[in-house]
Amino acid sequence: MITINMSPIAFTIGAVSVRWYGVMIALGVLMLVLWMLREVRRGAKLSYDTIITVALVSIPSAIIISRLLYVIDRWVYVGDPGPIWGFEGLTIWGAVLGATLGIWIYSKLSRFPFGYFMDLVALPTVLAQALGRVGCTINGCCYGLPTSLPWGIVYTDPESYAPLGVAVHPTQLYEIVFLLIVFGVLFALRKRFQPDGSLFLIYLSVYSLWRLGIDFIRDGTPFLFGLHQAQVIGIVVLLITVPILIWRTRWVKTPRSA
């Protein structure tokens, strides 16, 4: 078994404790923005001002939708609205879909090349998710069901969100490995599909399949038909993305010019 006795709290500022989960999310967002600025320097058909504007639009929308889905998943908040406010609970699906929605709305208001941008942002999004899961691993959240496998994780720090002293599936680590594989596949497939936006749709489809499967061994509460919220969202996303991919997407033999 693997024992994690590291404190999930990175540092404190007065009475406020900052957890490693928040630190890793912040690093993921920073990495994503810097990646896109690098794409501009390498010749992407975007401006630095546009990247900053998109970040200012997508980050708040990601936080809002992420928090909203977290609250919806815990109906107990309906009777006690106090815990609704804050950032303690966020969801990856909410962050991804919230940011996508914000960027799409911005594209409609500014003639911004939505599909082109989403293809560029797919790769750093996957890496940002992986960084977030590193934070989850330290935090003790998003853990799996109890297991007797030799690579099960046992948390011992009282600040951890996982049950203490119980070996659980390291579903966070499973996802990190999966995301790194997806990154490699998407990197190999970049500029190989038309029209713009196809690569991002592939990412959404693959991640939907992953969440549909991994949540069967992940701790959680039934949301609909015995499935977790993330699984239900994954099914909905698949029902949207797969038909679009079949209808619109085509393979191109040579990479498109940047």
Name which of 10-14, 78-82, 137-141, 189-193 the model is least confident about: 78-82
* 257 lies in some domain: no
| Residue entry with tokens 């540092």 | 11
Element (H, E) at 234: helix 229-248
CA distances from 56 to 17, 36, 53, 102 (A): 25, 14, 5, 10
* 208 lies in some domain: no
Bridge partner residues of 76 (DSSP):
none
Domain count, the chain: 1
| CA proximity to 240, closest of 196, 210, 200 | 200
* 238 lies in some domain: no
* 194 lies in some domain: no
Please state, for a pLDDT cut of 90, what percent of the chain lies above it. 73
* 227 lies in some domain: no
114/76 Cα distance (integer angstroms): 37
Side-chain-side CA neighbours of residue 71 (13 Å): 17
Q: Determine the average pLDDT of the residues in 128-141.
A: 94
224/127 Cα distance (integer angstroms): 30
Q: Determine the average pLDDT of the residues in 206-220.
A: 95
* 205 lies in some domain: no
166/173 Cα distance (integer angstroms): 17
Q: Determine the average pLDDT of the residues in 173-192.
A: 94
The whole-number pLDDT of residue 74 equals: 72
Name which of 10-14, 69-73, 203-207 the model is least confident about: 69-73
Q: Is 143 left (phi over 0), alpha (psi -120 to 50) or beta?
A: beta
How far is the first Cα of the chain from the last one, in angstroms, to the nearest whole number?
48
* 237 lies in some domain: no
List the domain range (segments joined by +) for residue 154.
2-183
The whole-number pLDDT of residue 75 equals: 60
Q: Is the pLDDT score of 221 beyond 90?
A: no
* 25 lies in some domain: yes
Q: Report which of residues 73 and 45 the model is more confident about.
A: 45
Q: Is the pLDDT score of 255 beyond 90?
A: no
Q: Are 207 and 182 in contact (CB under 8 A)?
A: yes
